[in-house]
Each structure stands twice: as C-alpha cells, then as structure tokens.
C-alpha cells in the first residue's frame, strides 16, 4: 500500500477526460435504446426519424459495450480473469490509476464524494396508452392481433366478475376468506398472454388471472374456495391458495416472499436442463422489505438464473403506504444494486405490460439472465376480506383509480376503437360470465367436502406411527364433540 500512496500523484490522470458531453448523451441514449429496441422485435407507431438517429449513433459504438448483457469478466464467480486496465492517451503507468480488488479493478478519485441517497429524478415509467385508450405519440410496443386482444379483454372482464361474486360469497358466509385482484387485471392477463405455457409461475396471491388464462376453469376456482373433494389441493389450503401442476403454477404460500429464493432455484434448474423457458415470480411492494426478496434477487443474479421478478407495486402493503415501506425510488432501482436489468412499467396499461413482459422474456431466454419488472398499479379493492381499506385511504383516491385509471376501461377503449368490440358484446359477455360463476358456486356448495383422511395422506409412503396416533385421536375427538365440528366433512 505504501507504493500506492507514494505514487498517488499519478491519480490526477483520472481527472482528465476526452469524452465530450455529446458522447455522454449518446451513451445514455444508447443504453436506454438498447433495452426495448435492440433487444426485442418491437414495432413503432411514430418517432421513426428519432429512432434512426439514435440507432446510427449507437451502431457507431462497440456492440459489445452497448448491447452485451453480462457481468465484467473479472467478476465471474470462480474465475481468475485479468481485468482490462483503464487507459487514456496520456497514461503511461496504469498501476497508478486503480487497485486490484475482487470483482475487478477499482479506480481512484481525489474527490471525497458520497453517493446520493436519491438520484433526484425518478425512474420513468414505460407507457403505451393514455387514460383514454389512445397510443401515445412515438410509443413503441408489441403489436397485438384482434384474436389475442379480444381474448385478453374477455379474460380481464371474467377476472373482475369472478372477484366480485366470490367476494360477495365470503361476505354472505359461504366461504371463509377471499382476496381480489381488482385494479390489477392488466398485470394478470397481459403477463399471462406474453408468456408461454412452459414458463413456470411462482405466484404471491393476487395472480389468479394467469391460471384463468391458462385454462383453469371457474368450477376449479370454486372447488378450491369451497374445499370440495374435487379440489386439486384436497381442501388442505385456505381459500385463494390455488395451485396446478398441469398449468405450471406453483401453489400459493401465505408467508411473504418465501417463493422468491425458490423461484431463483427453480430457474437455475431450468438452466441446467437447457430448457427454453423461464420462471416468473410475483411479489408485492410490501414483500420487498422481507429478507427473502433480497436473497432471491442476489441468488438469481450471481447464478445467472433465467427468472423474471415482477413486483406489483400497488401503493399499499395492507395499511402501510410505500412512503413508509422504503425510501428508495420504488422497487425498480433495487435491481441495479444486485446487477439485475430492470424496468418500470405502467401496470394499468395492458399494452405496456404485454410489451414489457414479452421483451423481458425474450432477453431472459436468449441471455439466461434475471430481470426485475416493477409494475405501478393500484389496489382498488380491500387487501382481503379481513381488511377495510377505507380506514386508511381516502375514498376519492380509491374512486379515481377505480374509474379514471381502470385498466379494463383503458384497454376496452383501445380494443373498441379498433372495431374489435361492441357495447352489445359487452352486455352479453358480462351476463354470461356472471351466470357461469354463480352456477360454479352452486355446484361447489352441493359437492361433498374432502375427507378427514386427506389431512394425513400424500406426504409419506407409509403413514408413520405418530401421525397414525394423531388421526385416531382426531376421529375420537370428533365423535365425542360432534356439535363442534362441521357435519359435511366425511369422517
């Protein structure tokens, strides 16, 4: 170290630069441009002349510097790779400019500067449609054909009606618990449409729309909520904790963020098996305060796991607003700290979510790297049937997001303006879906419940003695106190 300090006068070379302000701007433009335009097959509605200029400037730069998506070679775990030295035309002895450190060379500066806790300007949010359903001038997005667009809209309507009726069923005492996705329908359905059926979903609890898109029926939803013998989970999970092997949808787990490190591990297994698929893991803004969020992000980054983390930043973690949840600029900035490419998207803009998820998936599959997506949205409904959000949120705020920023209303305007949807079809669809949900509820209520025996099966090949004793004890207790146990559960 004495040698370093004795020769520190040469560090002043770092203050010399030959990069003009214009070149800095180009570098920034190229960095932003490469995310959606160089790494995915996007079409444009406007702004071609601007894009061409940026493209020409970007192409003058080294493609490795602009488009490559990989860590510095010296940072690759387990590798002893020589770092590329920092040089200028006036540098004669590079050893004076930086020190060797695990992960690569670190440059010196004579200025004692602390990194600001805030960049000053918030990360912008990718958007395609305005609140009236018109594409913004110059917006670039993945084109959606009529069949896909109509199916997406129908699925959003179905999810909304399903949530409304099941929520009312809980209020009537017919099921014990429910949780809606109201206000977040675009994140559910647009994400599902942008993925393939081979992609594995690791949900939090507000993503039933993905199951709906993949073919999970209204009857299957009802059987899970009512715990019937037709429930795939055999009544072992509380309501809304769906799961389906057939649809590559891991069962919902109540503890927050525990699914994120698991998602990174699942994704790494896909990578080891050379599967052309990725894992998509969901979380809310509140769960980013859990240690598992950070463990999952770091694991995925270090292991180059093909996983997409989607954070539904809906403004509230039950009654805790984001202003009390973190001091950072939301969640998107956390990705860079772990070396993960990130984007912020308008979660109420169906086309923006669809385009962003499609682009993210392409990059993950092609480059085998994780990506973080922060979707800004708003939880219009209560957190669950155990919550009354009017106690901590103003009614006018809820009403604004429910009407002016409704993802269904915005997307419907765009679909209808294209001539793909009519008011008559809207009325017919809503009436039909409502009847189907009510029929599914009535059928579930008439279906026999799961047997008491199902509480003890499907874990061990042979039931161990301690569980045999517990089952015997439970049956004897039920017989002695029949009045305290439900009569519709087979013993």
CA angle centred on 415, ends 156 and 198, rounded to 5°: 50
Q: 267: buried, middle or exposed (CB in 10 Å: 19+, 13-18, 0-12)?
A: buried
> Any catalytic annotation for residue 254?
yes
Backbone angles phi, psi at 431, to 5 degrees: -65, -40
Cα–Cα distance for residue pair 314/185, rounded to 1 Å:
12
Q: Which of 34, 384, 389, 406 is flagged as catalytic?
A: 384
DSSP string, 379-412: --S-SSTT--GGGTS-HHHHHHHHHTT-HHHHHH
227 contacts: CB under 8 Å, gap ≥ 6 = 235, 239, 449, 450
| Selected catalytic residue, list 8, 41, 176, 254 | 254
Among residues 206, 255, 213, 211, which one has the least CA distance to residue 233? Answer: 211
Strands 316-317, 320-321: pairing kind: antiparallel
In the three-class reduction of DSSP (H, G, I as helix; E, B as strand; rest coil), residue 51 is classed as helix
| Dist CA 58 CA 75 (whole Å) | 26
What is residue 124's DSSP assignment? P
| Residue that the structure tokens 């891991």 belong to | 250
Given the residues 73, 82, 168, 428, select the one marked as catalytic: 168
In angstroms, the CA 212 to CA 390 distance is: 29
* d(C-alpha 98, C-alpha 85), whole Å: 8
Residue 367 CB partners (closer than 8 Å, separation 6+): 69, 70
Our answer to whether residue 384 is catalytic in this structure is yes
Cα separation of 10 and 8, whole Å?
A: 5
- Residue 34 has φ and ψ, to the nearest 5°, of -65, -25
Separation of alpha carbons 171 and 175, rounded Å? 8
List the one residue out of 119, 151, 124 whose CA is nearest residue 139. 124
> Coil, strand or helix: which one is 78?
coil
Residue whose pair of structure tokens reads 């010296």 in the numeric block: 74
Give the C-alpha separation, 232 to 220, whole Å: 8
383 is catalytic: yes
The residue from 40, 383, 389, 406 that is catalytic is 383
Task: Give catalytic residues, as residue numbers.
Answer: 168, 254, 383-384
């Amino acid at each position: 170290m004495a040698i370093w300090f004795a020769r520190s006068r040469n560090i002043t070379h770092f203050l010399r630069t030959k990069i003009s302000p214009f070149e800095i701007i180009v570098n920034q433009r190229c960095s932003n441009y490469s995310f959606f335009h160089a790494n995915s097959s996007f079409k444009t509605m406007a702004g071609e002349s601007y894009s061409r200029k940026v493209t020409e400037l970007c192409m003058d730069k080294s493609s490795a510097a602009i488009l490559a998506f990989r860590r510095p070679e010296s940072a690759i775990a387990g590798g002893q790779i020589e770092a590329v030295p920092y040089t200028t035309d006036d540098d004669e002895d590079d050893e004076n400019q930086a020190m060797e450190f695990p992960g690569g060379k670190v440059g010196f500066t004579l200025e004692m500067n602390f990194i600001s806790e805030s960049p000053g300007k918030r990360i912008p949010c990718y958007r395609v449609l305005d609140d009236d359903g018109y594409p913004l001038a110059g917006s670039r997005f993945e084109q959606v054909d009529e069949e896909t667009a109509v199916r997406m809209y129908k699925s959003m309507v179905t999810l909304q009606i399903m949530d409304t009726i099941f929520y009312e069923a809980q209020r009537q005492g017919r099921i014990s618990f429910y949780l809606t996705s109201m206000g977040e329908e675009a994140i559910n359905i647009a994400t599902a449409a942008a993925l393939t059926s081979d992609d594995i979903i690791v949900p939090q609890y507000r993503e039933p729309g993905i199951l709906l898109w993949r073919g999970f029926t209204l009857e299957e939803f009802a059987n899970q909520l009512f715990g019937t013998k037709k429930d795939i989970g055999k009544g072992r999970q509380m309501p809304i904790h769906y799961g389906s092997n057939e649809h590559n949808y891991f069962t919902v787990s109540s503890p927050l963020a525990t699914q994120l490190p698991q998602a990174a591990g699942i994704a790494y297994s896909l990578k080891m098996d050379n599967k052309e698929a990725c894992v998509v893991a969901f979380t809310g803004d509140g769960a980013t305060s859990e240690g598992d969020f950070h463990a999952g992000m770091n694991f995925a980054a270090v292991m180059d796991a093909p996983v997409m983390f989607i954070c539904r930043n809906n403004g509230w973690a039950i009654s805790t607003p984001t202003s009390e949840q973190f001091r950072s600029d939301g969640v998107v900035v956390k990705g860079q700290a772990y070396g993960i490419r990130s984007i912020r998207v308008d979660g109420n803009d169906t086309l923006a979510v669809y385009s962003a998820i499609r682009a993210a998936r392409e990059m993950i599959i092609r480059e085998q790297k994780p990506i973080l997506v922060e979707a800004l949205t708003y939880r219009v409904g209560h957190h669950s049937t155990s919550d009354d959000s009017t106690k901590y949120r103003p009614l006018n705020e809820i009403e604004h997001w429910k009407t002016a920023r409704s993802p269904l209303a915005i997307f419907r305007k765009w679909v209808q303006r294209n001539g793909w949807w009519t008011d008559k079809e809207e009325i017919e669809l809503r009436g039909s879906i409502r009847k189907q949900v009510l029929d599914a509820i009535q059928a579930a209520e008439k279906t026999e419940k799961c047997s008491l025996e199902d509480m003890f099966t499907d874990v061990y090949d042979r039931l161990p003695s301690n569980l045999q004793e517990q089952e015997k004890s439970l049956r004897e207790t039920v017989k002695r106190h029949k009045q305290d146990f439900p009569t519709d559960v087979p013993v």
